Amino acid sequence: MSRVEEVESRRKVAIVTGASSGIGRITSVALCEAGWNVVLSARRKDALEETARMCEEAARDQSVQATELTLVVAGDVTQESDVHQLFERSIATYGRIDMLFNNAGITGPSKPLEDISLADFMAVMNTNLVAAMLCTQHALRYFKQNASGGRIINNGSIAAHAPRPHGAPYAISKHAIWGLTKSTQLEGRSFGVTCTQLDIGNAMTQMAQGAATTGALQPDGSVKVEGSIDARHVARAVVHIAGLPTSVTVLQMNIMATDMPYIGRG
C-alpha cells in the first residue's frame, strides 16, 4: 500500500447537511482542513460544488492530498428516499461514516404565533426536525453495526432555550432537537454512539446577519443590534468535538458572542 493510500485509509468521513452555505459550508471546509473526507448534502448542486471547490482549495497545503476529498450528494433531506441515497452513496464511496452533522435548517417567517400558517410551520418542522430525525435514524443503524461506534452533532440554537419574539416555529423545532439529541445519546451509548447539541448564538451567516446589522426584535418590543461571532469559531468547535474519541461525549455546548442577549434575553 502506498503512503497516499495509507493516509486515505485513515481519513475519517463526515456527512454535513445544509453544506451549500453558512455554517454548513464553513464547517465542511474546516473538516477538510483537519483531514476529514466530507460528504456535502443540500438541495442546490451548484452551491454544493462551490463548497467542494472551497474545501479542495483549503486542503491544498496539506502534505498528503487525498483523492475524492469531498462527495457532493444533492437532495432533499426531508425526503426519506433522498436520505437513504445520501447514506448509500457515502458508504459506497468511502466505505465508512464516522460523523453526521445535522445542520440543515431554516428560520421561517417572523410573525406572531397566532398568525403563522400551518404550511409555514410545517416547512420549518420538516427542515429543522424531520430531516434531522431521518438522518439520525440512518446514522444510528450504521453506527450500531460498526464496532467503533460514531458521532452525531446537531445544530441547535439559543432558541432551544430562550425563544425570540415572533419566532415560535423555529424555537419549537430547536426545543424538539434537544429531545432528539438526548434520545439519540441514550439509545446510542451502549453502541459507542455519542450525540451533541451545539447551541449557536448569532454567527455571521446570511441567516443571522439581520440581528447583527439592522437589529432584532427584543421581548420588550425594542429592536437592538446584537453581538455576533465569526462562524469559523463554530466550525472549529465542530472539528474539536468531532475529533474526540467516541468514549467522550459533549452532550450540549453553547457558543455565542459574549455581549449577545441570552440570559435574561432582551
Give the active site residues: 157, 170, 174
CB atoms near residue 93 (< 10 Å): 14
Q: At what angle are helices 22-33 and 231-242 packed, to 10 degrees?
A: 50
Q: Name the grid cell of 184.
A: 439519540
Contact status, residue 108 vs residue 120, Cβ threshold 8 Å: yes
Reported in sequence order, the residue ranges of the chain that DSSP labels E, i.e. its strands, are 13-17, 37-42, 70-74, 99-102, 150-155, 193-200, 216-217, 223-224, 252-255
Among the listed residues 166, 46, 29, the one whose alpha carbon sits nearest the alpha carbon of residue 101: 29
